[in-house]
Structures are given as C-alpha cells and as structure tokens.
C-alpha cells in the first residue's frame, strides 16, 4: 500500500438541532374512531417547523379539565353532540366566556348538522370554523389545521408583544422610581431579567463626573452586580472583570453605542455632563429579534431616566453641600467642629432606617437634621462661645434659636427645608414635656424632632464643647439609656442601642475629636 494512501476521516455527524415545541391540538369527541383517524391522517403534519402533539378528551367535562390546566392549546377540534345534544356548543361558550381564552382556535365538527345549523352556530358562538365530519377529507383537514394554527400563531405574537410592552412599561416605571444611581443600577439589572424572562447575569459600571463616590481618575467603577459577580465589591475597578467582559465594555465605550451579541447585551448611556454608564448582561439563551425590540424600547427610556436622575443627583449633591456648609458655619460660631452636623445627619438617618421609614424620608432626614441649630446665627457670639454656665437671662436668649431656626427655614417651600424647619423648632423638646420652646410631649413632638433630639444630644456629649470635655461613647450611651422616657422617645432609644455597630461605624467615618 502506498504510504501516501490514507484513509479519510469519517465525517462528523451533524449536530442534531433542538426540536421546537409541538403545537398542542385538543380533540374533543365521544367517538374514539375520530381521535384515531385524525391523528393518523395528521401524523406527519408540520407548520412553522413545529409538529403536532394531540390531547384527547372524550367528553366536554374531560375537555374542561384539560383546558383549565393548560394554557398552550392552540387548536380544539370539537364535536357538537356528546354527553348532551349541545355539549360542544356549551363548551365553546365556556372556553370564551368562563375560561376567558380568546386565543385558542375552535373548529366545530358535527356528524348531525341538523342538530346545530351552521349559520345559527357561527352567529351565536365565538368559533372559528364549522365542518361536517363527512366533508373532512385529508386535504380539507390540512386546510383547517393551517388556518387554525396560523391564526393562533399570529394572535400569540400579538399577545407576547402586548405582554412585552406591559413588562417594558413596568420595568421603565421601576427604573424611574430610582432615587440614586446605585438603586438605578440595581433596578436596571433586575428589570432587564424580568423584561426578557431570562436568567441573566451582569453588572453596571460607571465613569461619572457628578457622582464622585464612583469615579477615580476617570476609571470605570462597579455600581451594582448580580449574584454571579457578587465577588466584585462596590466601586471595584473593571480591571478585575473577565477579559471578554472588559472587551465588550471597552468596545461599547469607544463606539459610544449599544451592542447586542448573540447571548449578551451592553447598553451605553451618557449624560450631557459627560458621565458614562454601561450595563452588561449575559444570558444562557440567544436574544431573539422580538427580545431585541423590547430591549431597544427599554434602553431608550432608561437613557432618558438616566439623564434625569444624574441631574437630580447633581442638584441633591449641591443641596447637601450647601446644607453642610451652612451647618458647619453655625457650628464654628460656637467654636465647635463642623463634623458634628454630618454625624447628626447620619445618626438621624440610622434611626429613620431603623423605623422602616421610606428611603426618600430617610434621605430627607440625613439632609435636614444638620440644620437643627441654624437659628444660632441670630444668637450673640458671646453667648455661643461662653465657656461657663449661662445665667437665666442668657439661657432665655439661647433658647430663642429654636424659634429663629424655624422662622428662617419655614419660609421655603422645599421639602427638605420644611422638614429642617420642624427639626430646628422641636429638637429641644423632651418626651416628658419639659423641653422648649413649646413644652410639647411624647407623640406631640414630630418624629423628626424626636430623632434629631436624640442624635444631637448624643453627639454633643461625645464632642468637645467650649463648656465641657468630650465623653466616651459608652458613657454617652449610658446617659441616653437613663433618659429613656424622660428626655428621649423610649422606642428610639431602644432602636439606637440595638444598632451599636452601625453607630460606631459613623464615628469611625466622622471622628468626634
């Protein structure tokens, strides 16, 4: 044998393509022969690449059970006369009116046309065709199946489009309700999965101009991630991502547009201020054309929400910075550290969260509480910086800062400043009714006033003041516990003492001294 003579490799078997789900056809007839004949004649029928799967019911009662338990039946071949003379007609009406299924195609087949004249039946019942059993040759039966399945297919496409549109609207609404960029990122990831009904995994990364917590020298940082990427901590650099994801992100950023792969998508958003965000999602299944259309609608609306949200974030950051600057300026009048106002805001937010207040209200508390002492700008500097105890006349003047702060802030119609006005007015009221300026007690004091009172006193105790040295946090907490039901709302004291780790974290981030 020649050494050049080689056996050819056996050709590899072509991969078997996955079979499409068959069309579900229900035969309802009390004659077993009609079932057998129909299935035999239509055994090799295909439509849109899908074969047939037959379900069998020998009475209207059996058919009701099947139809009630399944939502994928495309075509019903329905006998008129079964357990009663009008069993088939009653079942047809039940399918449309009681079951509420407008999509399944119903073809009446009768061996006794005189029992149910065609014209009367077509007029009175929501059916799709009417045939005498004697006229149903193979060719006629094939025509019936083509017409019925084609109509069902088109109806289901419309239904899927309607459902997809509803999911899109719901998803967009969920995104629109986001109150910060992290919530926005998480909501986008969650809603993309719900929109496509896929079990996708992904992450949202940003390079933001206005959201400095997520930007570092223009690098992309992780805003949110699904379970598969949970090892990535928030604000992690994208260099920690797998190379294929990095490539998809880089391509999206370079071309500044959405990209759809066979099993992934990368959505690009850019604000007018130059902030950029990319949402990357990968899926186990291919993204079909219908899904891509939904994604395009969704992403277009998300882009609008993204721009609006960044504007809101920028405005809120400006408002927060202004409030801190004002609060710190007031503190400096008393020769005290400006970090006090930030800690009061954080402690107030901690208590608001513990009370399960809505996220928006917690955010408002964090911004409004630092303005609790803004009325001190109307108090003489000599009193604010006096190292010793105030006499009765001086104390009466000092107490006016609660009213002055309220009057100053209450002139604004802005939500946060309105809340700050309440806090300024009531943060020196006491639970037992012995506070000032109005001697309110218990529930008469606004919850924000009660929260600010606890936050302010606690932090004042652990801070250096011109009239006292700082207390250790443990001693301050002991004082707070002793004033439970006296100075402070007892429920708030309990909530605070149950969250000592969170409280200590605030003091690690914003040291008191």
The sheet carrying 129-132 orders its strands as 52-57, 23-28, 73-79, 105-110, 129-132
Residue 376 known to be catalytic: yes
**How long is the chain?**
513
In this structure, are strands 23-28 and 73-79 parallel, antiparallel, or unpaired?
parallel
DSSP character string of 435-459: -SSS---GGGS-HHHHHHHHHHHHH
Q: Say how far apart CA 319 and CA 188 lie, in whole Å.
A: 26
Residue 381 CB neighbour total at 10 angstroms: 11
265: nearest Cα among 321, 176, 195? 195
C-alpha–C-alpha distance, residues 304 and 184, integer Å: 12
CB within 8 Å of 67: residues ≥ 6 apart: 26, 73, 76, 95, 99, 101, 104
Structure tokens at 312: 């809101």
Give, in order, the Cα–Cα distances in Å from 324 to each of 77, 262, 313, 368, 447: 74, 49, 16, 10, 22
User: Distance between CA 294 and CA 287 in Å, rounded?
Assistant: 11
Distance between CA atoms of 204 and 202, rounded to whole angstroms? 7
Tokens 């946090």 belong to which residue? 473
Do the Cβ atoms of 404 and 356 come closer than 8 Å? no
Beta pairing class for 129-132 and 105-110? parallel
Rg (CA), the chain: 36
Q: How many CB atoms lie within 10 A of CB 458?
A: 23
Torsion sign across C-alpha atoms 304, 307, 308, 313: positive
Q: Which of 376, 389, 414, 468 is catalytic?
A: 376
**Cα 237 to Cα 207: distance, rounded to the nearest angstrom:** 11
Q: Which residues are catalytic?
A: 376
């Amino acid at each position: 044998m020649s050494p050049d003579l080689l056996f050819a490799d056996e050709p590899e078997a072509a991969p078997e393509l996955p079979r499409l789900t068959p069309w579900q056809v229900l035969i309802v007839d009390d004659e077993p022969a009609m079932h057998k004949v129909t299935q035999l004649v239509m055994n090799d029928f295909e439509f849109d690449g899908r074969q047939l799967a037959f379900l069998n019911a020998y009475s209207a009662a059996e058919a009701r059970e099947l139809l009630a338990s399944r939502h994928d039946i495309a075509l019903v071949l329905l006998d008129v006369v079964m357990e009663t003379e009008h069993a088939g007609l009653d079942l047809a009406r039940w399918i449309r009116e009681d079951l509420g299924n407008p999509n399944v195609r119903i073809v009446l087949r009768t061996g006794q046309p005189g029992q149910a004249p065609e014209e009367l039946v077509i007029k009175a019942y929501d059916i799709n065709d009417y045939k005498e059993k004697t006229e149903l040759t193979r060719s006629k039966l094939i025509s019936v199946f083509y017409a019925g399945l084609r109509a069902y297919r088109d109806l289901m496409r419309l239904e899927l489009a309607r459902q997809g549109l509803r999911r899109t609207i719901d998803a967009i609404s969920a995104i629109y309700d986001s109150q910060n960029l992290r919530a926005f990122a998480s909501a986008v990831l969650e809603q993309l999965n719900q929109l496509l009904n896929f079990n996708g995994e992904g992450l949202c990364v940003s390079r933001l101009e206005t959201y400095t917590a997520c930007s570092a020298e223009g690098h992309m940082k992780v805003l949110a991630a699904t379970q598969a990427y949970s090892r990535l901590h928030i604000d992690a650099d994208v260099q920690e991502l797998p190379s294929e994801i990095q490539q998809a992100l880089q391509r999206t950023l370079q071309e500044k547009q959405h990209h759809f792969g066979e099993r992934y998508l990368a959505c690009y958003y850019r604000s007018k201020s130059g902030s950029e965000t990319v949402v990357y999602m990968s899926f186990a299944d291919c993204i079909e054309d219908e899904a891509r259309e939904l994604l395009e609608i969704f992403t277009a609306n998300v882009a609008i929400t993204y721009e609006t949200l960044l504007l809101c974030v920028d405005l809120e950051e400006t408002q927060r910075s202004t409030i801190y600057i004002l609060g710190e300026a007031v503190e400096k009048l008393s020769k005290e550290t400006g970090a006090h106002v930030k800690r009061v805001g954080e402690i107030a937010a901690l208590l608001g969260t513990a009370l399960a207040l809505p996220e928006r209200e917690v955010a408002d508390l964090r911004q409004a509480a630092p303005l609790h002492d803004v009325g001190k700008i109307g108090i003489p500097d000599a009193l604010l910086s006096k190292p010793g105890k105030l006499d009765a006349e001086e104390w009466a003047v000092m107490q006016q800062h609660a009213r002055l702060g309220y009057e100053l802030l209450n002139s604004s119609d802005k939500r946060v400043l309105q809340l700050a006005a309440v806090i300024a007015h009531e943060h020196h009221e006491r639970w037992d009714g012995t506070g000032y300026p109005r001697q309110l007690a218990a529930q008469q004091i606004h919850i924000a006033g009660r929260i600010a009172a606890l936050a302010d006193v606690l932090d004042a105790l652990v801070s250096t003041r011109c009239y006292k040295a700082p207390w250790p946090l443990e001693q301050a907490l002991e004082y707070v516990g002793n004033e439970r039901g006296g100075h402070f709302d007892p429920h708030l004291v309990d909530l605070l003492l149950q969250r000592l780790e969170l409280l200590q974290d605030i003091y690690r981030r914003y040291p008191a001294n």
